[in-house]
Amino acid sequence: MKTSQLLIPTLREAPGEAETVSHRLMLRAGLIRKVASGIYTYLPLGLRVIRKVEQIIRDEMNRAGAQELLMPMASPAELWKETGRWDFYGKELLRFKDRHERDFCLGPTHEEIITDLFRREVKSYRQLPLNFYQIQTKFRDEIRPRFGLMRGREFLMKDAYSFDRDDAGARENYQKMYDAYHRIFTRCGLTFRAVEADTGLIGGNSSHEFMVLAETGEETVVYTDSGTFAANVERADVLPPDSVENTASLPLRSVSTPNCRSIEEVTAFLKVPSHRLVKTLLYSTGKETVAVLVRGDHAVNEIKLKKALGVPEIELAGPATVEKATGAPVGFAGPVGLKGIRILADQAIPALKNVVVGGNQLDTHYIDANWGRDFTADQTLDLRNAQAGDPSPKKDGILKATKGIEVGHVFMLGTKYSQTMNATFLDAQGKECLAVMGCYGIGVGRSAAASIEQNHDDRGIIWPYPIAPFHIHLIPVSQSDKTNEMTVRLYAELQAAGFEVLWDDRDDRAGVKFNDADLIGAPFQVVVGDKGLAEGVVEVKVRRTGIKTRVTPTELIQHLRSAVPHVDAAPSSH
């Protein structure tokens, strides 16, 4: 392709809206443009990258025995009402009515649609197992879209759904997908890690997320060096404390703590470490208000809390609710003498002695409060996030934490959907059985964005060869006939040799072309100019290393062919 045939609106300065590296570079290199919050147009260069990622996914999905189909974006409310997700999915589900006032939504995921297809078309165990996938635009009306393609509202996703006769079959499909995902992300040039994860709105029995390790990741992963344990903090179990503190209980005392509302303020004022505090958080479930006790240095895990309460949504109680429940303004809630609401305590709480808690009165805390004597809870269980320094739940060491970008997620669904939607088949005995399902997603655009997060320098993108929009950026830097003839010749030869070539045929200065080439990030740059040609050579620059090699035009293709296998091997400046 010639640049004159392609819209590649590179930007010297990044638009102010972009914060993260990948978002900035995608805008600057002319890959995407925003249409509305979380909604983007893929420009020609961006689309080429997307297509590369898609093709890798197709290859590996097909290889793993899945078959491609395409489901609609819009789906009728009835199917969603069947599984209950019409209500359960909340505001993320973008709903609308057609001209007949029928309810529809834009598909955020497709379990309902595929399960409906299955129950209509599949009758016999002889047809199983099955695994369907599609690469399709999804719409989720995110609370807060951000970081360009990283968290859009409209985005491309590969989703796959497997149907099996039994659990063993489902596990086999799950494993196949798990392995396929490893190959896909490896081929995309990503450094990633599979971790145990929560199943969220999809539901099911268990799941793994594929996390690209990057500072800008929105997820936190905890893991052990031994490699046997890795999980999203949302999901990671926390072991109960192994012993109760062995200290004599001191008498309970009420102290004045003027204006000390936060953990920081209280610890600073009373000069006690935060793990000597118990914080009391009030949550509203919609039906009731509950108090949750966790240690001052711990964070409530709202997913664990929701499960404990058996409700889909919770939120921190507002100031009015807090005053009503505790009799004090926000900042002074505590379990001592707290009546009329349910109290849930993290399992770490009973092991503590002589702690600081809120006094349920303005500017007041209790010190030396003790479990059993001064306060207790209706329930004690694991309610907090795992954090670095905790012992691993697999007892294989101490946890470390890192940030990750979730690019893929595989779920064992079990019969959650086949049950509610009555997706059954007849087994060899003629007995009606529920299909055992799995589902498997990959964020296509997010994978591309994650790749930029891991592969860039201060000059621009450094695409891994398999997903680069072009393999070679061909850059003539002189406008002589000699240079032009050589460029035309190399353009033809390189393409004939199977390379995807972007020929910068603009009438621009060399510096402009070099800078755009570095920004766009093709793995190789081939520079043709009078200076080199006078000595019978052209120049090959490897984008990742910046190393330039002078080769004769005849050697060029051989040189590139032998360089391709190593081009992604060198570490980026990151």
Partner RNA sequence: CGGGGCGUAGCGCAGCCCGGUAGCGCGCCUGCUUUGGGAGCAGGAUGUCGGAGGUUCAAAUCCUCUCGCCCCGACCA
Q: Which two tokens stand for residue 207?
A: 């799941």
Give the integer Cα–Cα distance in Å for 273 and 257.
16
User: Rule CB under 7 A: which of 144-183 touch RNA?
Assistant: 144-147
Q: Which residue among 280, 285, 380, 455 contacts RNA (CB under 7 A)? A: 280
Q: Which is nearer to RNA, 147 or 491 (CB)?
A: 147
Q: Which is nearer to RNA, 52 or 365 (CB)?
A: 365
- Smallest gap from Cβ 34 to RNA, in A, equals 6
Is 271 one of the binding residues for RNA (CB under 7 A)?
Answer: no
> What distance, in Å, lies between the first and last C-alpha atoms of the chain?
31
Neighbours of 193 (CB within 10 A): 17
Segment interacting with RNA (CB under 7 A) among 93-101, 300-308, 415-423, 551-559: 300-308
Segment interacting with RNA (CB under 7 A) among 81-89, 139-147, 235-243, 391-399: 139-147
- Binding residues with RNA: total (CB under 7 A): 71
Is 14 one of the binding residues for RNA (CB under 7 A)?
Answer: yes
Query: Which of 31, 32, 27, 7 has the alpha carbon at shortest distance from 17?
Result: 27
Q: How many CA atoms lie within 13 A of 363 on its CB side?
A: 3
Segment interacting with RNA (CB under 7 A) among 30-38, 67-75, 82-90, 109-117: 30-38
User: Rule CB under 7 A: which of 334-353 touch RNA?
Assistant: 334
Is 333 one of the binding residues for RNA (CB under 7 A)?
Answer: yes
Angle between helix 44-63 and 444-454 (nearest 10) = 110
| Planar angle of CA 525, 530, 535, nearest 5 degrees | 90
Q: Which residue among 213, 352, 450, 528 contacts RNA (CB under 7 A)? A: 528
Is 302 one of the binding residues for RNA (CB under 7 A)?
Answer: yes
Can you name the residues that pair with 408 across neighbouring β-strands? 210, 442
The string over 315-351, giving b where at least 16 C-beta atoms fall within 10 Å of a residue's C-beta and e elsewhere, is eebeeebbeebbebebbbbbbbebeebebbbbbbbbe
Q: Which two tokens stand for residue 392?
A: 């691993």
Q: Which is nearer to RNA, 404 or 438 (CB)?
A: 404
Q: Which is nearer to RNA, 302 or 568 (CB)?
A: 302
Query: Which of 314, 260, 257 has the alpha carbon at shortest distance from 287?
Result: 314
Is 16 one of the binding residues for RNA (CB under 7 A)?
Answer: yes
Q: Which two tokens stand for residue 388?
A: 């670095």
- Smallest gap from Cβ 119 to RNA, in A, equals 37
Q: Which helix or strand (DSSP H or E) is residue 397 part of?
A: none
Q: Which is nearer to RNA, 35 or 426 (CB)?
A: 35
Neighbours of 13 (CB within 10 A): 7
Q: Which is nearer to RNA, 300 or 442 (CB)?
A: 300
User: Rule CB under 7 A: which of 482-521 touch RNA?
Assistant: 509-512, 514-519
Phi and psi torsions of 33, nearest 5°: -140, 145
- Smallest gap from Cβ 180 to RNA, in A, equals 32
Q: Do residues 73 and 106 lie in contact, with contact meaning Cβ atoms separated by under 8 Å?
A: yes
Is 272 one of the binding residues for RNA (CB under 7 A)?
Answer: no
Is 304 one of the binding residues for RNA (CB under 7 A)?
Answer: no
Segment interacting with RNA (CB under 7 A) among 52-60, 157-165, 176-184, 327-335: 327-335
Q: Do residues 93 and 80 lie in contact, with contact meaning Cβ atoms separated by under 8 Å?
A: yes
User: Rule CB under 7 A: which of 36-75 touch RNA?
Assistant: 36-38
Is 529 one of the binding residues for RNA (CB under 7 A)?
Answer: yes
User: Rule CB under 7 A: which of 234-263 touch RNA?
Assistant: 261-263
